[in-house]
Amino acid sequence: MDLTQAYNYDSFVAEKIERWLNFSASPALGLPAPDFELQTLDAETTRLSAVWRSAAYTIIEFGSLT
């Protein structure tokens, strides 16, 4: 099973979502996020640092558990 299939689970139960809940590996509140590569909505590649330079505020949607 590939990563996309694993993320798009068919039922909202603990066994299927717990692997995605790794908040302890996230940067602490107030610390900058690590720079990494992103894909834009038009399939271009950029970096988070490039987005930060072009906007005063940045919101990135990674997914949803709802």
Q: Where are the domains of the chain?
A: 3-54
Interacting residues of 47 by C-beta distance below 8 A, sequence separation 6+: 35, 36, 37, 38
- Is-contact 45 38, C-beta < 8 A? yes
d(CA 55, CA 51): 6
Average pLDDT over residues 1-13: 74
pLDDT at site 1: 67
pLDDT at site 2: 74
pLDDT at site 65: 53
d(CA 8, CA 20): 11
pLDDT at site 22: 78
| pLDDT tens figures, 15-63 | 877 877 877 877 788 887 889 998 888 889 999 999 888 888 887 776 6
